[in-house]
């Protein structure tokens, strides 16, 4: 990174930070150095201490030991506001702005241009427009922020932070809910800011993106510092080893040949199934013991297909059949009754009931299926919970812990357990590995294979094409809310999926993949 400042002088210096919550050491003697003008990836599995480090540096949590210097000057912010005043701004995954206020009001919240005690709306909008133009954004700043995409909300949050003269910008999983094109926009802005001498801390689970954008990488594990490396000289395998502290086991398994598929019995089929304005009518056969992958860009109709198949959304045409017999599929209850299960992408808002225990979350679908009058006794619940906690290696292995306190990967396993407990015939998994750490990632993929070997039919959505290729027997490719191609057996590889997605439309977003 070339910039006017001395690259050797650190912009943000964190030395020997420790932080405990009760008996838990969340951070132990962690160092972190951010230079001006660099994009520095902060990586680690869930629970490695990334969030805690950020919160300690930005004053959200008080620290136990250690010092934080910015531009050589020691700071001890007591709140995020104080940290901002010192020049450190954080943009979280869930943008912490006010969706009901306009873009301009969000940008100038707490510092609106005033005259005689009255906000000068015109002036504010003009300045907001100019500010966003810097970021290559030309939008109506009078519109409520919530009407815009998450990408634009992120850019707005960044613009606000930078305009508040932040020198250090911490982006916590900024790309988690962005599509490829939006990621490009964000990355362009990040590079632009780095050129201006702003130091950017980039926290992400997407290793592709880390390699694409970052200059250096700091890895944390179990609250301790593993190391700091130049991105360019760090092989991916080595990075994963640093994050995991062990070699990643291979995840490939022999794929059944095309002939074998035909022999399998059809579990559920959908003919001309669709909903106007949601996803175009499609034909889909799901067979026992088979994984069908849904591939496509964000917004291509993957999730929409999954929701129609499960019954979370009601189709307005077509016919669903289960084991050959026509069925009604109007609600999730119908889906559950037919032996379907659905792990949605939005684990927190649509999956777990955070306040309830692991046990209660696991038995929820089974209990709903059995009905009110046939309650599972406490002993049966304990038995079921214990079985799945053991089988899926849910940690901590405490069935009475509120599920909201578990890490993302373990929450995902609880959701899997919820459906497995209902002895389903078909499981629909929407991004089962999104936002969970590398170790749990491999484990979930292994589970998908195992379940399939047990005769379950699986429909799996993933943005990670490598992953889809690894476990799918068939891959349905979607584009613009329609099923465009079905790949089978030997024909499944990343290249052919990309080719199908890119067939005749814009291929801009795909360059990074190939």
Partner 1 sequence: MTALLPRRGFAQILALIVILAVDRVVSPQFFDLRLQDGRLFGSLIDVLNRGTPVALLSLGMVLVIATRGIDLSVGAVMAICGAIAASLADTHGLPVVLAAALGAGLVCGLWNGFLVAVLGMQPIVATLILMVAGRGIAQLITEGRIVTFSSPDLVWLGNGSVLGLPVPVVIALSMLILTGAVVRGSALGLLIEATGGNARASELAGVGTRAMIIAVYVWCGICAALAGVIAAADIMGADANNAGLWLELDAILAVVIGGTSLFGGRFSLVLAVLGALIIQTMNTGILLSGYPPEFNLLVKAVVVLAVLLLQSPKLSGFAGIATRLKRTKA
Among 298, 356, 491, 499, binds partner 1 (CB under 8 A): 356
DSSP 288: T
In angstroms, rounded to a whole number, what is the distance separating the alpha carbons of residues 140 and 413?
42
Residue environment code for 227-246, b if the CB has 16+ CB neighbours within 10 A, otherwise e: eebebeebeeeebbebbbee
Q: Using the rule CB under 8 A, is 91 a contact of partner 1? A: no
Q: How far is the CB of 373 from partner 1 (least distance, A)?
A: 6
Q: Using the rule CB under 8 A, is 95 a contact of partner 1? A: no
Q: Scanning residues 120 to 179, which ones bind partner 1 (CB under 8 A)?
A: none
Q: How far is the CB of 279 from partner 1 (least distance, A)?
A: 18
Q: Using the rule CB under 8 A, is 304 a contact of partner 1? A: no
Non-local CB neighbours of 61 within 8 Å, separated by 6+ positions: 19, 52, 55
Region class of 480: left (phi > 0), else alpha (psi between -120 and 50), else beta: left
Q: How far is the CB of 312 from partner 1 (least distance, A)?
A: 6
472-475: Cβ within 8 A, 24+ apart: 472/291, 472/292, 472/293, 473/255, 473/256, 473/261, 473/290, 473/291, 473/292, 474/261, 474/290, 474/291, 474/292, 474/293, 475/292, 475/293, 475/294, 475/295
Q: How far is the CB of 491 from partner 1 (least distance, A)?
A: 33
Considering the complex, state which of residue 159 and residue 384 has its C-beta at the smaller distance from partner 1: 384
Q: How far is the CB of 365 from partner 1 (least distance, A)?
A: 4
Q: Given the rule CB under 8 A, which of 63-71, 166-174, 259-267, 364-372 is the region that contacts partner 1? A: 364-372
Residues forming beta bridges with residue 282, ordered by sequence position: 273
Mask: binding to partner 1, 222-261, rule CB under 8 A, as x and -?
A: ----------------------------------------
Q: Using the rule CB under 8 A, is 375 a contact of partner 1? A: yes
Considering the complex, state which of residue 174 and residue 408 has its C-beta at the smaller distance from partner 1: 408
Among 27, 312, 427, 500, binds partner 1 (CB under 8 A): 312
Q: In which order are the strands placed within the sheet that holds 457-461?
A: 340-343, 426-430, 457-461, 290-295, 474-479, 482-488
Among 51, 156, 269, 463, binds partner 1 (CB under 8 A): 51
Mask: binding to partner 1, 395-424, rule CB under 8 A, as x and -?
A: -------x-xx------------x------
Q: Using the rule CB under 8 A, is 351 a contact of partner 1? A: yes
Sign of the Cα torsion 312, 316, 317, 319 reads: positive
Q: How far is the CB of 330 from partner 1 (least distance, A)?
A: 13
Q: Using the rule CB under 8 A, is 44 a contact of partner 1? A: no
Among 44, 335, 399, 435, binds partner 1 (CB under 8 A): 335
Among 376, 494, 498, 509, binds partner 1 (CB under 8 A): 376
Length of the chain, in residues: 514
- Asked if the bond preceding 396 is cis, omega within 30° of 0, the reply is yes
Q: Given the rule CB under 8 A, which of 106-114, 185-193, 329-337, 506-514 is the region that contacts partner 1? A: 329-337
Q: Using the rule CB under 8 A, is 337 a contact of partner 1? A: yes
Q: How many residues bind partner 1 (CB under 8 A)?
A: 42
Q: How far is the CB of 323 from partner 1 (least distance, A)?
A: 19
Considering the complex, state which of residue 202 and residue 310 has its C-beta at the smaller distance from partner 1: 310
In angstroms, rounded to a whole number, what is the distance separating the alpha carbons of residues 111 and 96?
17
In angstroms, rounded to a whole number, what is the distance separating the alpha carbons of residues 267 and 269?
7
Q: In which order are the strands placed within the sheet that holds 317-322?
A: 279-287, 266-275, 317-322, 325-327
Non-local CB neighbours of 216 within 8 Å, separated by 6+ positions: 38, 40, 41, 228, 229, 230, 231
- The secondary structure element, H or E, covering residue 207 is helix 207-213
Instruction: For 112-166, give the DSSP string.
Output: --EETTEE-HHHHHHHHHHHHHHTT----TTSBGGGS-HHHHHHHHHHHHHHTT-
Q: Scanning residues 18 to 37, which ones bind partner 1 (CB under 8 A)?
A: 21-22
Q: Given the rule CB under 8 A, which of 196-204, 236-244, 246-254, 369-377 is the region that contacts partner 1? A: 369-377
Q: Using the rule CB under 8 A, is 81 a contact of partner 1? A: no
176 and 152 Cβ atoms separated by less than 8 Å? no
Q: Given the rule CB under 8 A, which of 131-139, 334-342, 479-487, 490-498 is the region that contacts partner 1? A: 334-342
Residues that bind partner 1 (CB under 8 A): 21-22, 51, 55, 60, 310, 312, 332-333, 335-337, 342, 344, 348-356, 360, 363-365, 367-376, 378, 402, 404-405, 418
């Amino acid at each position: 990174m070339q910039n006017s400042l001395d690259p050797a002088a650190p912009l943000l210096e964190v030395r020997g930070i420790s932080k405990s919550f009760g008996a838990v050491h969340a951070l132990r003697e962690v160092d972190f150095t951010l230079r001006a003008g660099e994009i520095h990836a902060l990586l680690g599995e869930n629970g490695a201490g990334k969030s805690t480090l950020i919160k300690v540096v930005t004053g959200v949590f008080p620290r136990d030991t250690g010092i934080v210097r910015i531009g050589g000057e020691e700071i001890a912010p007591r709140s995020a506001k104080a940290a901002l005043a010192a020049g450190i701004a954080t943009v979280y995954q869930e943008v912490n702005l006010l969706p009901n206020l306009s873009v301009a009001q969000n940008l100038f919240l707490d510092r609106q241009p005033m005259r005689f005690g009255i906000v000068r709306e015109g002036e504010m909008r003009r300045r907001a427009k100019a500010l966003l133009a810097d970021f290559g954004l030309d939008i109506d700043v009078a519109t409520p922020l919530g009407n815009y995409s998450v990408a634009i909300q992120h850019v707005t949050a960044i613009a606000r932070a930078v305009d508040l003269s932040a020198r250090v910008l911490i982006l916590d999983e900024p790309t988690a809910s962005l599509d490829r094109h939006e990621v490009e926009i964000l990355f362009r802005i990040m590079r632009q800011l780095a050129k201006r001498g702003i130091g950017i801390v980039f926290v992400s689970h997407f290793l592709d993106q880390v390699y694409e954008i970052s200059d250096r990488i700091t890895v944390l594990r179990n609250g301790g510092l593993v190391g700091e490396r130049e991105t360019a000289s760090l092989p991916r395998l080595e990075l994963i080893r640093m994050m995991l502290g062990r070699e990643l086991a291979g995840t490939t398994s022999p794929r059944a040949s095309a002939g074998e598929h035909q022999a399998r019995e059809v579990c559920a089929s959908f003919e001309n199934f669709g909903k106007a304005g949601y996803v175009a009518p499609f034909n889909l056969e799901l067979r026992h013991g088979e994984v069908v992958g849904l591939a496509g860009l964000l917004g291509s109709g993957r999730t929409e297909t999954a929701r129609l198949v499960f019954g979370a959304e009601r189709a307005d045409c077509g016919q669903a059949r289960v084991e050959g017999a026509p069925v009604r599929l109007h609600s999730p209850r119908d889906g559950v009754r037919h032996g379907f299960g659905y792990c949605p992408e939005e684990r927190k808002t649509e999956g777990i009931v955070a306040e309830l225990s692991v046990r209660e979350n696991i038995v929820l679908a089974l209990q709903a299926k059995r009905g009110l009058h046939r309650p599972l006794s406490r002993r049966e619940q304990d038995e079921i919970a214990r079985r799945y906690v053991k089988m899926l290696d849910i940690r901590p292995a405490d069935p009475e812990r509120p599920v909201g306190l578990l890490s993302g990967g373990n929450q995902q396993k609880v959701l899997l357990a919820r459906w497995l407990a209902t002895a389903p015939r078909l499981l629909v998994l929407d991004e089962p590995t999104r936002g969970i750490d590398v170790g749990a990632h491999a484990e979930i993929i292994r589970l998908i294979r195992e379940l399939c070997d047990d005769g379950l039919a699986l429909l799996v959505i993933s943005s990670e094409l490598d992953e889809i290729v690894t476990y799918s027997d068939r891959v349905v490719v979607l584009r613009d809310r329609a099923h465009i191609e079905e790949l089978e057996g030997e024909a499944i590889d990343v290249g052919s999926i990309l080719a199908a997605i890119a067939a005749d439309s814009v291929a801009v977003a795909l360059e990074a993949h190939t």
